[in-house]
A and B are shown apart, each in its own frame.
Chain A
Amino acid sequence: QKEVEQDPGPLSVPEGAIVSLNCTYSNSAFQYFMWYRQYSRKGPELLMYTYSSGNKEDGRFTAQVDKSSKYISLFIRDSQPSDSATYLCAMSLYGNKLVFGAGTILRVKS
């Protein structure tokens, strides 16, 4: 079993839809949870990160962590074609090595 599981997709949605991207994990010691966005043939860029459980909002993006279920989510409101990318979740212990999910491919159709 992988330490971090992420559905590879692809997930295809119409423009304007609410998108939900998810990861599950097995190590209950993880404290920091991140989401990266990676456009085709580019390096990943950090979207946002959260510490422990709870929600964090940044514009159209909301990150949610449920440590009791070992489940994290990224919601994208009013999705745009420019949101089409691969989304990688990542998590870590305090300052330690990041563990990445395999990434979910998202396609937003105009």
Chain B
Amino acid sequence: DGGITQSPKYLFRKEGQNVTLSCEQNLNHDAMYWYRQDPGQGLRLIYYSQIVNDFQKGDIAEGYSVSREKKESFPLTVTSAQKNPTAFYLCASKQLASRAGELFFGEGSRLTVL
């Protein structure tokens, strides 16, 4: 089945540590996205990439980094510079040719800082 796989599903981090969240898609979509979801705040865009080896900052990129070395993969690193990293992180993808721009999401990764 085609879809988006995020791992790990749950992750615990000590303050000062960097962590990397994995996102893999087999939908052959061009564009990939990372969102952060906090209660009552909806989805906020962290980074997105429309093509391999290129990516752009979203609305809340500070303290995060990404790479896009392969079309299928878009890992997100939460660095120690992110002051409030505890959140639910969602990876999404879409086909650039889509007029509506609808996104397809993974199951999410919940990061908790201890």
A32 touches B101 (CB 8 A): yes
A49 touches B42 (CB 8 A): no
At the interface, yes or no: B41 with Cβ under 8 Å from chain A?
yes
Q: How far is the CB of B106 from chain A (nearest CB, A)?
A: 5
Cα(A41)–Cα(B40), bound, Å: 15
At the interface, yes or no: A53 with Cβ under 8 Å from chain B?
no
At the interface, yes or no: B43 with Cβ under 8 Å from chain A?
yes
What is the size category of the interface that chain B forms with chain A? 20 to 34
Interface size on A, residues (CB 8 A): 25
At the interface, yes or no: B114 with Cβ under 8 Å from chain A?
no
Cα(A58)–Cα(B102), bound, Å: 17
B43 touches A92 (CB 8 A): no
A95 touches B99 (CB 8 A): yes
Q: How far is the CB of A45 from chain B (nearest CB, A)?
A: 7
B102 touches A100 (CB 8 A): no
At the interface, yes or no: A34 with Cβ under 8 Å from chain B?
yes
With a 10 A CB-CB cut-off, give which of A51, A94, A101, A102 has the most chain B CB atoms.
Answer: A102
At the interface, yes or no: B60 with Cβ under 8 Å from chain A?
no
Q: Which of A44, A92, A95, A97 contacts B45 (CB 8 A)?
A: A97
Cα(A86)–Cα(B103), bound, Å: 17
Using A92-B100, A98-B101 as known contacts, list a sample of 7 further A-B pairs with CB atoms less than 8 Å apart, ordered by residue number in A.
A6-B42, A43-B6, A46-B102, A88-B42, A95-B100, A95-B101, A102-B42
